[in-house]
Structure 1
Amino acid sequence: MGEPLKLENRPTPQAGPGSVVVKILTAKIVSYLGDVYNGKRKYSLPTPLVPGCAAIGRVAAVGPDATQLSIGDLVFVDIYLRGRDDPTKTALSGVHEGHDEESSRLMRGEWRDSTFAEYAKLPLENCYKLDEKRLLGPKTEGGLGYTVEDLLGMTGQVVSYGGLRSIGIEPGDKVIVSPATGPFGSAAVQVALSMGASVIAMGRNTEALKRLQVIFGTDRLQLVRITNDQRQEMEALARCGLADAFFDISPPMAAGSSHIISGILSLKHSGRVCFMGSLIGEVPIPIMHLTTKNLTIKGKWMYERTDVWKMVQMVESGLLKLGHEAGWVTVEKYKLEQWAEAFSSAAQHAGPGEQVVFTM
């Protein structure tokens, strides 16, 4: 990755055509970011750069072609960069420069720097205006009473929503979510429930699974342990009833796990599968089961722009909860100069209902 991270002073970026400058209020620290920047996770990144993750901020300046955003607006900052002339070329600002040469150009020039800063210059289309009065206003005045840090819960929700929506999850569906005990998997449980589905949450950690039951407290949630014994897993899944869909967001350390096949074999006829994780290695697919059950398998990288707007609408309507009402808490807040401690804390608080953030 090059030299270690360090804090430095830079000139405030300037907005030009197609860009917006945002004063960052708070930024998410995903649990594995420390391993990205120390090189343990072999993510491709140009250096030097300003790292970052999804953030909440206030518009400080806009380019001359802005049509919706104005100075002072509260915005959700989406780090999923897309090529304007080819939206299939993508990168994650501050995290990953993409999977091919064309995608990497997005972060090797204009959009090299991300959100772990007081001010960040971003593509105009990556900043989503939020209804500040509704989200942050007191409940006595029709608001939802969230804090700015609560709004970062949308970070995991939008990833999960993009995957679930890509396989057409509808009210009444039964969805297997695995693994459901990490930050993105637990968000998928919440989002699927908010979409009207029932959920079978799979995970290795029994206590973390039970925590999901406490957080969401609904009879539409069932729990199944991942044991690496396919027979045991399938028997447990069978007791929950056949599922309509299987959503998997496994991390690299889940390579070789039995739960992938267990989930696929536990689907109804015409069931759907969505893979969103970074599972490393090949997985044998039961082709006969796939064809005789008319199953659909889909890979999904992140989400679409329409997914972000739809999710924001769900949050602003009150349908998709944030903060304490959803059982989510900000465990720790750090300043940028505390980055080493912040990354360590985030790695330790990767369970359901926990987040660690930077505040500026």
Structure 2
Amino acid sequence: MADHTFLPETHRVLQLTSTREPLQLQVVPTPQPGPGSAIVKVLAASVLSYSEDIYNGKRQYPFPIPFVPGASAIGRIVALGPDATTLTVGQLVYLDCTIRGRDNPTEAVILSGIIEGFTESSRKLMHSEWRNSTYAEYTKFPLENCIPLNERRLLGSVDTGGLGYRVEDLMHISRLLVPYGGLDDVGLKPGETVIIAPATGPFGSAAVRVALALGAGRVIAMGRNKTALGQLSVLDNRISTVEITGNEQTETEALRKLGPIDVFFDISPPMAAESTHLKSAVTSLRHGGRISLMGGVSEYRSFPYASFMHRNLTMKGTWMFSRQQILSFVKLVESGLLPLDEKSGMSVAGKFRLDEWAEAFKKARVVQSGEVVVIEP
């Protein structure tokens, strides 16, 4: 028997019926719990900076139509399937949008509400059980994607030992988690020097904050936007900045003055495939240095074979993160070592209702470093 409180017969959702038409606010039957799932009341859902381009078809992401879009979210469990063993009704959880096939977790991977992946097994996940996401009042999610949060610690007042966050502040988790996966995979250690590039975008600036929380001795933020680099530099005296100029030699010389450099974390967008920072950062690494690739570059890139070999360099690609990394990251946030408040340069740039989705997408497109936009159903 499922464990649940009262669920309304219907609820409101945003539904996409065509990339040529705007999203529509609909009233549909409320999902019911089954084995392996939980029903969660959505409190705040994240909005990607490129959401508008996903759902108008510009990015040409594959997904089933019609479906309920969305992304990672914060919610409260209202019903549980019969096989839930530790989650409880009423619990505050982080909903991780990276859903994996239980019998094929490496090839069957979707981003809930965003993309169905590129294999037949991943398409099966999104075309059937996990079609609908979090731009809704209620959503059904896999049990393993409901990550428990210490509500008393995170939302409790500072006077009682809490961190004093609001629910919407916790949505910073969705952005910070991505670089955490890559930095953890290459084993960034306390005291090490790491290059983050480009560091001025939403995920790059998040990587700077994660590296600091992990104890990096120096964080070198690279980017083209001088103003954004200046805003990052005041966050911590361990941050140094190097401008991406298009001149590989100039960049390399500037980086080597800040060495020895242990790690290079790259999160280049597709349009940065030819950026000079890729070569200058790799060239600047010390013997035994590590490279984390988490960007969106799709073109084949050559690399200096002999240099890699003689310097014992290691290169690791990471897409998203594992469940264990989420659990470790949540502990980092709950410890207070990675603050999510405005005093630390983190803010919520906008909160929008379901029917204000268009305004939310436009606001998310222009967010600055440390800002998030949320939809509150």
* TM superposition score category, shorter chain reference: over 0.9
Query: In the alignment, is residue 210 of structure 1 matched against residue 230 of structure 2?
Result: yes
Could you list the per-position Cα deviations for residues 297-355 of structure 1 after superposition, in whole angstroms to 9, with x for gaps in the alignment? Answer: 11111001110000100111111111213211111111111111110110011x21111
**C-alpha separation in 2, matches of 1:86 and 1:42:** 25
TM-score (norm 2): 0.93
Cα pair 2:19 2:55 within 8 Å, conserved: no
Show the counterpart of 2:109.
90
**C-alpha separation in 2, matches of 1:274 and 1:104:** 28
Counterpart amino acid of residue 230 in structure 2: K
Counterpart amino acid of residue 354 in structure 1: E
Which of 335, 342, 347 lines up with 2:365 in the alignment?
347
Could you list the per-position Cα deviations for residues 96-130 of structure 1 after superposition, in whole angstroms to 9, with x for gaps in the alignment? Answer: 11132211211110000000100000001000111
**C-alpha separation in 1, matches of 2:328 and 2:343:** 20
> 1:212-231 maps to which residues of 2 (within 5 A)?
212-214=232-234, 216-218=235-237, 220-231=238-249
Show the counterpart of 1:138.
157
**C-alpha separation in 1, matches of 2:352 and 2:333:** 26
Cα pair 1:256 1:283 within 8 Å, conserved: no
Could you list the per-position Cα deviations for residues 61-120 of structure 1 after superposition, in whole angstroms to 9, with x for gaps in the alignment? Answer: 010111111111000010001110011021100111113221121111000000010000
Cα pair 2:263 2:289 within 8 Å, conserved: yes
**C-alpha separation in 1, matches of 2:57 and 2:280:** 33
**SS of the counterpart of 1:107?**
helix
Show the counterpart of 1:356.
373
Which of 181, 184, 202 lines up with 1:165 in the alignment?
184
**C-alpha separation in 2, matches of 1:182 and 1:116:** 24
Counterpart amino acid of residue 166 in structure 1: D
What is the count of residue pairs matched by the alignment?
357
Cα pair 1:153 1:323 within 8 Å, conserved: no
**C-alpha separation in 2, matches of 1:322 and 1:279:** 29
Larger strand proportion, structure 1 or 2?
Answer: 2
* 95-104 vs 59-68, which moves further: 95-104
**SS of the counterpart of 1:357?**
strand
Show the counterpart of 2:119.
100
Query: In the alignment, is residue 42 of structure 1 matched against residue 60 of structure 2?
Result: yes
1:52 to partner: Cα distance? 0.3
Counterpart amino acid of residue 230 in structure 1: E
**SS of the counterpart of 1:106?**
helix
**C-alpha separation in 1, matches of 2:292 and 2:120:** 26
> 1:1-360 maps to which residues of 2 (within 5 A)?
2-4=19-21, 5-88=23-106, 89-197=108-216, 198-214=218-234, 216-218=235-237, 220-349=238-367, 351-360=368-377
The runs of at least 4 aligned residues of structure 1 exceeding 4 Å deviation read none
**SS of the counterpart of 2:27?**
coil
Cα pair 2:220 2:242 within 8 Å, conserved: yes
Q: Identity over aligned residues, as a percent?
A: 52
Cα pair 2:20 2:56 within 8 Å, conserved: no
Could you list the per-position Cα deviations for residues 145-202 of structure 1 after superposition, in whole angstroms to 9, with x for gaps in the alignment? Answer: 0010110111111111110000111111111111111111111111111111121111
1:3 to partner: Cα distance? 4.4
**C-alpha separation in 2, matches of 1:15 and 1:122:** 9
TM-score (norm 1): 0.97
Counterpart amino acid of residue 310 in structure 1: S
* RMSD between superposed Cα atoms in Å: 1.1
Cα pair 2:261 2:286 within 8 Å, conserved: yes
Could you list the per-position Cα deviations for residues 204-228 of structure 1 after superposition, in whole angstroms to 9, with x for gaps in the alignment? Answer: 10100111122x222x111011112
**C-alpha separation in 2, matches of 1:11 and 1:60:** 15
